[in-house]
Amino acid sequence: MKKIDEALEGKNSVAILGHIRPDGDCVGSCLGLYHYIRQTAPQIKADVYLDSFREEFSILPGTEIVRRDFHGAESYDLCIACDASDRGRLGEGTAILDRARMTVCVDHHKTNPGYAQITVLRPETGSTSEILYELMEETRIGKETAMCLYTGMAHDTGVFKYQSTTARTMEIAGKLMNLGIPFTELIDRTFYQKTLPQTQIMGKALMESRIGAGGKCVYSFLSLADMEAVGASPMDLEGIAEQLRLVEEAEVSLFIYEMAPGCFKASMRSKSYADVSRVAARFGGGGHARAAGCSLTGDREGVTAAMLACIREELAVHD
């Protein structure tokens, strides 16, 4: 599939899905695709299905139309999954995927196994939003689509500073800016701005951080009680793994938080050489070489020790 218009041809209805715990690229790519369809093919019924996401993303046009009635939805001619590396990441959205007559996945996670009938997978690209731009007819991209895609690109490239950022990434960002989007406000509101609970819980994670794996991994842990103490939720934890990555002596950052008693989520980042997606894959997770995650069960000490042991092995490969 060279252009998204090919998949839309002859379709009357389209469902757009994102992954669980939607981040900036997920929200941006899904809403960007929605606005593109509404502008270029208004005769097609298009619906976006996403789990709850951070309030900051309400600055993006179209957040008010997002649906969450996954099991009550009708069957669609086409279902397009954005930024979801595997079926499990779609959560309840798999019910919509399975009922669709045609399925497409647009993604940039190298661990994607190809669960859709058509998969557009470009692991070398910094964000799914950037891939979608390349799949759209450039002259038909409007301001609303541009706002969403720019936000998605900014989030998954760390505001255009990760190694996945290329000259083409910056070229596309410039073209989107030229459509008159409020790019400064989009980045400030969705990337840098923090609520008081978000600021407090990040401070707690940073204060509790430790060095492990021979001094090359900085790690931290947050419990449900930690979050409850400041009125924070798992949606307020975005950015902590990236902040830990900035510790000077560490190659890898590991952030683990409690989702429910005995259930944990781990997020990892690396600076230059460690492939944290290989670590995540050993626990059934996935992601990118420099950013990956997984879910674990057990107790705090056990999951932390297991993750550190695997990180130590990954680091040893490069010694």
Are 44 and 183 contained in the same domain? yes
CA distance 120 to 123: 10
For position 221, what pLDDT does the model report? 98
Tell me the mean pLDDT in the region 168-172.
Answer: 98
DSSP string, 53-91: --GGGGGSTTGGG-B--TTT----SEEEEES-SSGGGGG
For position 308, what pLDDT does the model report? 97
- Cα dihedral across residues 128, 130, 131, 135: positive or negative: positive
Tokens coding 96: 């919509």
Are 178 and 122 contained in the same domain? yes
Domain count, the chain: 2
Q: Per-residue pLDDT tens for 89-111?
A: 999 999 999 999 999 999 999 88
- Cα dihedral across residues 82, 87, 92, 98: positive or negative: positive
Are 125 and 251 contained in the same domain? no
Domain harbouring 203, CATH code: 3.10.310.30
**163 pLDDT band (50/70/90 cuts)?**
confident
Are 145 and 39 contained in the same domain? yes
Q: Per-residue pLDDT tens for 212-252?
A: 999 999 999 999 999 999 999 999 999 999 999 999 999 99
* Three-state DSSP class for residue 296: strand
Average pLDDT value over all residues in the chain: 96
For position 319, what pLDDT does the model report? 75
For position 268, what pLDDT does the model report? 97
Are 287 and 303 contained in the same domain? yes
Q: Which domain holds residue 304?
A: 196-317
pTM reported for the whole predicted model? 0.89
Q: Per-residue pLDDT tens for 29-53?
A: 999 999 999 999 999 999 999 999 9
Are 133 and 14 contained in the same domain? yes
Residue 156 has pLDDT above 90, yes or no: yes
For position 82, what pLDDT does the model report? 98
| Residue 88, number of CB atoms within 10 A of its CB | 15
